Chains A and B, each alone.
Chain A
Amino acid sequence: MAEKPRLSRQAMCDRLAMEFQDGWIVNLGVGMPTLCSNYVDPTKSLVFHSENGVIGYGPLAKPEEVDRHLVNAGGQNVTAVPGMAIVHHADSFALIRKGMLDVTVMGAYEVAENGDFANWRIPPRKGGGIGGAMDLAACAKRVFIALEHATREGKSRLLKRCTLPVTAPGVVKLVATDLGLFAVTPQGFQLREYAPGWTPEEIQELTEARLSIADDLREFRRRDQA
């Protein structure tokens, strides 16, 4: 198949961020998901929560704005916004476990059509990097995943069943890849939006899991089409 342009990471994260609703409490995972905060809809007011107990932080700090005591979950210096509050780590995760987060956005190695996903361990490598992912995945109201559609070797990351140890079973609601937007339904993955220039058949060909097609299938919405 000829190489067609794929969606950028920023476009993927923009699209997930378009789903955020006014007043939502949002937790963005380290790495790609932090790009979601670059999508700003002035009609919506969001509360960004970070695992280290910062509730209500703002954009990344410019060099002259850096406060050495204020970082997000990735250790990046962020700015304070009016209404920010600080709690300790146990209270920060109490908030998570209570189900206060409207959405958590994470990266992943794999997502399965039953809503399982894997992002913490690659056997036979020893150990894993969990951080707060298991707490977030088990307890947030919604789990959104941003990931490349295929591995570097071209293997589908959207699977019938995860092959890697799962982070939480049956929790994923929405997935953005560089080929489109996919809802996880009781019937499995549903293609809702396709990357410009791609057909559903071409996307299916690169996907191990069986895709159903949304009735209102459309082209992937970009920042200026929200």
Chain B
Amino acid sequence: MQNKIYQTFDEAVADVPDGSVFMSPGFGGVGLPRNLLAALNRQGAKNLTGISNNAGTVDAKVDVGTLVAAGQVKKMVCAFTAPTHPSQVTPFVRMYNNNEVDAELVPQGTLAERIRAAASGIGAFYTPASVGTELAAGKEHREINGRMYVLEYPLHADYAFIRAWKADTFGNLQFRLAQRNFNPIMAMAARITIVEVENDIVAAGDLDPDQIHVSGVYVDRLVRIPPPPDGIWD
């Protein structure tokens, strides 16, 4: 069977070409694949399109905003393109306001469902979110059982960068608490799924099959996060 275990993050992202579409999970800084994003930053791929809940924060930690600030990202698909507070002006917001990066703003539930649609072979779906707002303008609407819905399409990606709690050598994944967030749906939606793992990767069969959050069939590459300072842990 294919060996999915890579020794370094740099090896795991070495082949990501310019122009790739990538997904990055994480919410409130939890379940965010900071090690893989740092490696992608070092690798230097350009003209990337990022799919993520936000486009980085104001703190100095590595996140999607690190790639944006480095000029590696041409477009973000996310649920925040303006700061929620004037003190929260991120590198992305500055660049977006200067037209140095493009963005598509998507309501968070629609973002998640568009990713799940890609992960599950769904061609499109109708959602009530955003109906009656300017974000629904120009989109196909349909009344179903007396309620208005708007048509939304799947979000596909070339790569998903994932942060997991535990993994086995086959690539089966487990997440812990709020770390789960976008991780399972992104891991299942992308063409190539690369995972940074917080615990030693165990032999296939050592994780309870009933407690697997993402089947290893979706997972291509695994890297164990080394102890600090080599690995990024928070």
Contact = CB atoms under 8 A, between A and B. Distances in A.
Contacts of B131: 138, 168-169
Interface of B: 27-31, 79-84, 93, 96-97, 103, 105-110, 112-113, 115-116, 127-135, 165, 176-185, 213, 234
A66 to B, nearest CB: 11
B27 A97 contact: no
A153 B113 CA distance: 40
Given A53-B178, A69-B177, A121 B27 contact: no
A166 B137 CA distance: 12
A67 interface: yes
A169 B148 CA distance: 12
Interface string A51-87: 1111000000000000111111111100010000011
Nearest to B97: A126
Contacts of B82: 121-122, 125-129
Nearest to B103: A127
Contacts of A218: none
A62 to B, nearest CB: 17
Contacts of B213: 88
A86 B177 contact: yes
Given A70-B30, A71-B28, 11 more contacts: A53-B178, A71-B178, A72-B28, A75-B28, A89-B108, A93-B108, A126-B96, A130-B105, A134-B133, A135-B108, A138-B128
Contact of B177 (A54, A97, A166): A54
A132 interface: yes
Contacts of A135: 107-110, 127, 129
A165 B133 contact: yes
Interface residues of A, number: 49
Q: Which of the listed residues A94, A97, A121, A138 has the most CB atoms from chain B within 10 Å of its own CB?
A: A138
Nearest to A72: B28
B234 to A, nearest CB: 6
Contacts of A129: 79-84
A89 B110 contact: no
Contacts of A31: 84
B133 A168 contact: yes
Nearest to B82: A127
A86 B178 contact: yes
Nearest to A128: B82
A88 B129 contact: no
A31 B84 CA distance: 10
Given A126-B81, A134-B133, A138-B130, A96 B109 contact: yes
Nearest to A121: B82
Interface in A186-225: none
B80 A139 contact: no
Given A71-B178, A129-B81, A130-B105, A90 B113 contact: yes
A130 B177 contact: no
Given A130-B108, A131-B80, A132-B108, A89 B97 contact: no
A125 B86 CA distance: 12
A52 B25 CA distance: 11
Contacts of B181: 52-53, 88-89
B79 A131 contact: yes
Contacts of A165: 133-134
Nearest to A57: B178
A175 interface: no
Contacts of B93: 127
5 contacts: A52-B28, A68-B30, A86-B180, A165-B133, A166-B132
Nearest to A88: B184
B107 A97 contact: no
A129 B96 CA distance: 13
B89 to A, nearest CB: 11
